[in-house]
Amino acid sequence: MFDPAQYRVKPGDKIDISKLDPDGESAIDLKKSRSKDETKELTEKLDTLQEKLFAESKHKLLIILQGMDTGGKDGVIRRIFEGVNPSGVRVAHFKQPSQEEIEHGFLWRYYQQIPKNGEMVIFNRSQYEGVLVERVHNLVPKSVWERRYQEINEFEKILVEENVAILKFFLHIDPAEQKKRLEERLADPSKEWKFSDDDLLERKYWSEYMKAYEAVLNSTSTELSPWYAVPSKHRWLRDLIVSSVIVATMESFKMEYPKLPKIKKLTKIPDAT
């Protein structure tokens, strides 16, 4: 079984994001065909594990996906979670905050979306927008976004204490790969609707975003809620890493299907009338 631990950002390590390899193949001895087979096995395991999660209703799992536009957040959700029961899985998308959300503080709207017992919730973007977009575009003063790293760590600590397991994935690509994917969007009638002028605007801030992501990885990867820096140029490798981490985490829950009381197992099913 593929071990994704090499991509985990260890607390206290200082990541130089310019040295992170978005290609990723140099770090592992894998063939694309074999990794696709392994990912398929993992997604099948995930289907069973998610059913146990929902049936047992004891654990909660929060998955956070962050990355530059075209990094693969939607692709991860589509391919890795395609076989799971939708009744126990929810995707939370976070757009520009409403006035009510702003007035409640930047973490309030994220707390409204945390998983319940037996639920898996995927944040497509997250509380980290408060130290990414808002930092890069100077939407709040430096004194505000600087204190948010600690506020986020405290927020996640509270969630873990409430029995929420947190996994965070930074889907890493380089500017050349993003350019290629944006061009593919424009050339594909089924994907051109995804293209936005905002994508081009944000590309102008690539260096600033990388500094902001570097600060996120170095300041908020903890033992309780670790970050995984996922090389995402190759979709097959990205999917393998993410699915491996999620399956290993869910297996650590040691979940079992609930047992019916013996008296209930003796229930006679009447004929239909």
- SS3 call for 66: strand
pLDDT at 1 over 60: no
| Chain segment 92-149, per-residue pLDDT in tens | 988 877 788 878 888 999 999 999 999 999 999 899 999 999 999 999 999 999 999 9
Q: What residue ranges do the domains of the chain occupy?
A: 4-256
Q: What share of the chain in percent tops pLDDT 70? A: 96
| Chain segment 40-87, per-residue pLDDT in tens | 899 999 999 999 999 999 999 999 999 999 999 999 998 888 878 778
The pLDDT mean for the chain works out to 90
| Chain segment 8-17, per-residue pLDDT in tens | 999 988 999 9
Largest CA distance in the chain: 71
Q: Which token pair is 2?
A: 């593929």
Q: 4-256 — its CATH code?
A: 3.40.50.300
In the block, residue with structure tokens 């260096």: 207
pLDDT at 30 over 80: no
Q: Which token pair is 39?
A: 């990912």
In sequence order, the 6+-apart residues with CB closer than 8 A to the CB of 192 are 185, 186
pLDDT at 26 over 80: no
DSSP H/E element including 243: helix 235-251
The answer to whether the pTM exceeds 0.85 is yes
Contact 182, 199 (CB under 8 A): yes
